[in-house]
Amino acid sequence: MLDITKDIQSLTSFRRRSGDFMKQLKKTKRPVVLTVKGKAAAIVQDAGAYQRLLDIAARADAKEGIRQGLEDTRKGRLRSAGEFFDEFEAEHGIPR
Protein backbone atom coordinates (compact mmCIF):
# COMPACT_ATOMS: atom_id res chain seq x y z
CA MET A 1 0.00 0.00 0.00
CA LEU A 2 1.27 3.44 -0.93
CA ASP A 3 1.86 5.95 1.89
CA ILE A 4 1.33 9.33 0.23
CA THR A 5 3.23 11.14 2.99
CA LYS A 6 6.42 9.14 2.30
CA ASP A 7 6.05 7.44 -1.07
CA ILE A 8 5.47 10.43 -3.36
CA GLN A 9 8.59 12.52 -3.78
CA SER A 10 10.08 14.92 -6.28
CA LEU A 11 12.72 13.70 -8.66
CA THR A 12 15.00 16.40 -7.28
CA SER A 13 14.65 14.99 -3.74
CA PHE A 14 15.38 11.52 -5.07
CA ARG A 15 18.54 12.73 -6.80
CA ARG A 16 19.77 14.54 -3.70
CA ARG A 17 19.01 11.71 -1.27
CA SER A 18 19.13 8.59 -3.42
CA GLY A 19 20.92 6.59 -0.70
CA ASP A 20 18.13 7.32 1.79
CA PHE A 21 15.53 6.34 -0.79
CA MET A 22 17.32 3.07 -1.53
CA LYS A 23 17.26 2.22 2.19
CA GLN A 24 13.55 3.08 2.33
CA LEU A 25 12.80 0.91 -0.71
CA LYS A 26 14.68 -2.03 0.76
CA LYS A 27 13.03 -1.67 4.18
CA THR A 28 9.41 -1.00 3.18
CA LYS A 29 9.22 -2.84 -0.19
CA ARG A 30 6.84 -0.05 -1.25
CA PRO A 31 7.37 1.79 -4.52
CA VAL A 32 8.13 5.50 -4.56
CA VAL A 33 6.36 7.77 -7.03
CA LEU A 34 8.70 10.42 -8.40
CA THR A 35 7.20 13.67 -9.55
CA VAL A 36 8.32 16.35 -11.96
CA LYS A 37 6.59 19.72 -11.58
CA GLY A 38 4.04 18.10 -9.27
CA LYS A 39 3.00 15.33 -11.66
CA ALA A 40 3.84 11.65 -11.42
CA ALA A 41 6.72 10.89 -13.79
CA ALA A 42 8.24 7.59 -12.67
CA ILE A 43 8.00 4.76 -10.16
CA VAL A 44 11.08 3.45 -8.35
CA GLN A 45 10.79 0.02 -6.77
CA ASP A 46 12.96 -2.47 -4.90
CA ALA A 47 14.23 -5.16 -7.30
CA GLY A 48 12.82 -8.01 -5.21
CA ALA A 49 9.39 -6.38 -5.01
CA TYR A 50 9.46 -5.81 -8.77
CA GLN A 51 10.33 -9.47 -9.38
CA ARG A 52 7.37 -10.51 -7.22
CA LEU A 53 5.16 -8.25 -9.32
CA LEU A 54 6.46 -9.88 -12.51
CA ASP A 55 5.83 -13.35 -11.06
CA ILE A 56 2.25 -12.42 -10.12
CA ALA A 57 1.63 -11.04 -13.62
CA ALA A 58 3.02 -14.21 -15.23
CA ARG A 59 0.76 -16.41 -13.10
CA ALA A 60 -2.23 -14.21 -13.95
CA ASP A 61 -1.44 -14.57 -17.67
CA ALA A 62 -1.22 -18.36 -17.34
CA LYS A 63 -4.49 -18.51 -15.40
CA GLU A 64 -6.18 -16.34 -18.01
CA GLY A 65 -4.94 -18.60 -20.81
CA ILE A 66 -6.31 -21.65 -19.00
CA ARG A 67 -9.62 -19.85 -18.36
CA GLN A 68 -9.94 -18.98 -22.04
CA GLY A 69 -9.14 -22.55 -23.07
CA LEU A 70 -11.78 -23.94 -20.74
CA GLU A 71 -14.31 -21.41 -22.04
CA ASP A 72 -13.52 -22.40 -25.64
CA THR A 73 -14.06 -26.04 -24.68
CA ARG A 74 -17.42 -25.28 -23.03
CA LYS A 75 -18.54 -23.33 -26.10
CA GLY A 76 -17.45 -26.08 -28.47
CA ARG A 77 -14.68 -24.06 -30.09
CA LEU A 78 -12.42 -27.05 -30.57
CA ARG A 79 -10.60 -28.85 -33.33
CA SER A 80 -8.45 -31.91 -33.45
CA ALA A 81 -4.67 -31.67 -33.31
CA GLY A 82 -4.58 -33.05 -36.86
CA GLU A 83 -6.81 -30.25 -38.13
CA PHE A 84 -4.68 -27.66 -36.35
CA PHE A 85 -1.41 -29.01 -37.76
CA ASP A 86 -2.84 -29.31 -41.29
CA GLU A 87 -3.94 -25.65 -41.15
CA PHE A 88 -0.67 -24.51 -39.53
CA GLU A 89 1.47 -26.31 -42.10
CA ALA A 90 -0.58 -24.92 -44.99
CA GLU A 91 -0.51 -21.39 -43.59
CA HIS A 92 3.23 -21.38 -43.01
CA GLY A 93 4.28 -23.48 -46.00
CA ILE A 94 5.72 -26.27 -43.91
CA PRO A 95 5.57 -29.66 -45.62
CA ARG A 96 5.22 -32.83 -43.60
Note the pLDDT tens digit of each residue in 43-66.
999 999 899 999 999 999 999 999
pLDDT at 6: 82
Please check whether residues 87 and 66 belong to one and the same domain: yes
Q: Are residues 55 and 87 in the same domain?
A: yes
Exposed, middle or buried, 30 (CB in 10 Å: 0-12/13-18/19+)?
Answer: middle
pTM: 0.62
- 68 in a domain, yes or no? yes
Residues 6+ apart with CB under 8 A from 86: none
Q: Is residue 72 part of a domain?
A: yes
**What residues are paired with 42 via a beta bridge?**
34
User: What's the domain count of the chain?
Assistant: 2
Query: Domain range spanning residue 31?
Result: 8-45
Band of residue 2 on the pLDDT scale cut at 50, 70, 90: confident
Residues 62, 85: one domain? yes
Task: List, in order, residues 6 or more apart from 14 with CB less than 8 Å away.
Answer: 21, 32, 34, 44
Within-domain flag for 56: yes
Question: Are 41 and 64 within one domain?
Answer: no
